[in-house]
Amino acid sequence: MSEPSQTSRTFGRLEGALSKLFTKAAAVAALVDVAEGFRLVTLAGKALGGVEWVPGQKVQGMLGGWVQRTYTPLAWDAAAGSMQLLAYVHGEGPGAAWARELRVGDTCALFGPRGSLDLNAVARPAVLFGDETSFGLARALRFTPAGAQGVHLVLEVTSAAGAAAALDAIGVAGAHLVERRPEDVHLGEVQEYTAHLLQTRSIEAGVLSGKATSIQRMSKQLRQLGVPRSRLQTKAYWAPGKTGLD
Ligand SMILES: Cc1cc2nc3c(=O)[nH]c(=O)nc-3n(C[C@H](O)[C@H](O)[C@H](O)COP(=O)(O)OP(=O)(O)OC[C@H]3O[C@@H](n4cnc5c(N)ncnc54)[C@H](O)[C@@H]3O)c2cc1C
């Protein structure tokens, strides 16, 4: 391999300096494979202490060479200087590779926490729709002043058994899981269930996360069924064919 040029060494130093300036340094304190494809990551460090975290916010992990991927803290202990995220490890993208290869003691640089969804502002009763990437968001509900009560979870997932095991392991109960089917035909079932919730539970608000196209359909349905736009929070976490959405 050839030696790095002066330009690339300078660029590397600049990258390091900028990263230090704007990010928080953390180290992996614990890793638990809670179910197949789901890794619970605990990060700790002085820089994570004293942080004001609003449940629903995001962090962005710098994975090297300006590549970053976004995750949702499911808990943040500002006194101890630690936070947790649940990574859905699928495919071969940089985020999946990062989560898969992490070892206890590894260091990383984080941006955030920064604004994304504001779970503190969600009126109850509410519907929270999402998928495997939204499990951390669902868990974070319990740190809102109103708690997780009154928020009905509706999640599209690849494997209901795997999803149920992961949710159970992180302490999220009562989610309605619908397995994905080709051409998104399962969204019919998701919408039937959501319509039933709206009729029977006087739903006041919606939080929509996960796959961009599913969010669009759910948003349209909730508005048609009378949930005002001002009571809908939406955030696409990923879209087919797009990388590192955010
Ligand atoms: C605000 C925010 C919060 C998020 N929180 C979490 C979180 O807590 N946990 C978590 O696991 N993820 C979370 N995500 C999603 C995560 O950032 C993306 O899934 C990201 O694309 C993963 O990076 P990657 O490098 O593995 O894949 P990429 O290189 O980004 O994508 C590679 C390919 O995989 C596809 N892809 C990406 N995600 C999925 C998916 N979930 N299912 C199927 N195909 C997919 C892409 O469309 C692309 O074709 C969040 C995203 C945002 C914007």
pTM reported for the whole predicted model: 0.93
Counting beta carbons within 10 angstroms of the beta carbon of residue 204, is it exposed (0 to 12), middle (13 to 18) or buried (19 or more)? middle
Cβ 61 vs Cβ 69: under 8 Å: yes
Atom 29 (ligand 1) nearest CA: 93
Q: Got the DSSP string for 186-201?
A: HHHHHHHHHHHHHHHH
CA 123 to ligand 1 centroid distance, Å: 27
Which protein residue's CA is at the shortest distance from atom 7 of ligand 1?
Answer: 71
Q: Is the CB of 67 under 6 A from ligand 1?
A: no
Q: Calculate how far, in angstroms, residue 72's C-alpha sits from the geometric centre of ligand 1.
A: 11
> Ligand 1 centroid to 237 CA: how many Å?
6
71 lines ligand 1 (CB under 6 A): yes
By most ligand atoms within 8 Å of CB, the mutation choice from 68, 70, 170, 207 for ligand 1 is 70
* pLDDT digits (tens), the chain, 246 positions: 455 666 666 655 666 666 666 899 999 999 999 999 999 999 999 999 999 999 999 999 999 878 999 999 999 999 999 999 999 999 999 999 999 999 999 999 999 999 999 999 999 999 999 999 999 999 999 999 999 999 999 999 999 999 999 999 999 999 999 999 999 999 999 999 999 999 999 899 999 999 999 999 999 999 999 999 999 999 999 999 999 888
pLDDT value of residue 244: 85
The torsion defined by the Cα of 154, 218, 121 and 50, in degrees rounded to 10, comes to 70
The residue whose C-alpha atom lies closest to atom 48 belonging to ligand 1 is 241
Q: What is the structure's pLDDT at 1?
A: 43
The answer to whether residues 223 and 229 touch, using CB atoms and an 8 Å cutoff, is yes
Does ligand 1 have an atom closer than 6 angstroms to the CB of 69? yes
